[in-house]
């Protein structure tokens, strides 16, 4: 009997509840040693909060699914995974005041970016020519939004593959119309889902499955 397929799910947490130093310290003592070390590797408090929030979110989800967060390992490229588990994958990201986690039964990647002032012209340096043309062909007020949509789409795919930025943002294309990633070196479809849940934030999830949840399934404000 084939096992039941799990849809690609997206979770999010707001970092605001970690403003309280007592709560911050309490949560820091509750996460795995690996996450504890990761949080403390940051020097800026806001970065520590984002890292801790991402760890709390991921480890809560893993425990709910019956996995031990202490078993998490990191690939050479930085991708987190559970060894000897071939039907449960996850990816985390954080930006601004939010951390997100995507889970699926196939490899998955997620990225979130808070909107900020940027020069969309840098797309010409990092993206494929057709993508940069698309951005530059839009009215000026639309270019920044489109830039972040492309950026999160590309980052989510690189997190799926585990290559990170070393994979090269111009080595593949984000197809906005088809909601897919076009990679000439891939022999299977890579699907893309955008979420517009929080004002001034862009979220993209890439997966080999097209069965995405329509909305963020759960938002943990206090754990």
Q: How many CA atoms lie within 13 A of 198 on its CB side?
A: 20
- Joined together, the tokens standing for residue 27 give 């949560």
Q: Going by DSSP bridges, is the β-strand pair 9-14/89-95 parallel, antiparallel, or unpaired?
A: unpaired
C-alpha dihedral, 116 to 127 to 211 to 4, nearest 10°: -110
C-alpha dihedral, 149 to 150 to 151 to 154, nearest 10°: 120
Give Cα separations from 41 to 57, 72, 86, 143 (angstroms): 19, 18, 30, 35
Packed helices 45-64 and 33-40: angle between N→C axes, nearest 10 degrees: 160
Domain layout of the chain by residue ranges: 9-220
Taking the whole predicted model, whether its pTM rises above 0.85 is answered as yes
Q: Is 220 helix (H, G, I), strand (E, B) or coil?
A: strand
Residue 220 pLDDT: 63
What whole-number distance in Å separates Cα of residue 1 and Cα of residue 132? 47
Give the architecture (CATH level 2) of 9-220. Answer: Alpha-Beta Complex (3.90)
Per-residue pLDDT of the chain (223 residues; tens, 9 = 90+): 345 688 999 999 999 999 999 999 999 999 999 999 999 999 999 999 999 999 999 999 999 999 999 999 998 778 899 999 999 999 999 999 999 999 999 999 999 999 987 767 788 888 999 999 999 999 988 999 999 999 999 999 999 998 765 668 889 999 999 999 999 989 899 999 999 989 999 999 999 999 999 988 777 655 4
Place of tokens 């310290």: 25
């Amino acid at each position: 009997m084939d096992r039941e397929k799990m849809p690609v799910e997206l979770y999010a947490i707001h970092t605001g509840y970690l403003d309280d130093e007592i709560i911050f310290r309490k949560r820091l003592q509750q996460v795995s040693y690996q996450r504890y070390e990761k949080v403390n590797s940051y020097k800026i408090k806001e970065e520590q909060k984002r890292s801790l929030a991402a760890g709390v979110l991921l480890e809560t989800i893993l425990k709910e699914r019956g996995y031990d967060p202490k078993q998490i390992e990191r690939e050479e490229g930085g991708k987190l995974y559970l060894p000897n588990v071939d039907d449960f994958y996850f990816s985390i990201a954080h930006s601004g005041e939010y951390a997100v986690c995507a889970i699926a039964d196939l490899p998955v990647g997620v990225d979130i970016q808070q909107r900020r002032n940027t020069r969309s012209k840098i797309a010409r340096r990092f993206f494929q020519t057709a993508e940069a043309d698309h951005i530059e062909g839009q009215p000026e007020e639309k270019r920044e939004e489109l830039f972040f949509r492309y950026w999160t789409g590309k980052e989510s795919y690189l997190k799926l593959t585990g290559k990170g930025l070393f994979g090269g943002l111009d080595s593949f294309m984000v197809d906005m119309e088809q909601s897919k990633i076009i990679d000439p070196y891939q022999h299977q479809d890579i699907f893309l889902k955008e979420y517009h849940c929080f004002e001034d934030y862009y979220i993209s999830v890439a997966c080999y499955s097209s069965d995405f949840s329509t909305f963020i399934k759960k938002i943990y404000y206090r754990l």
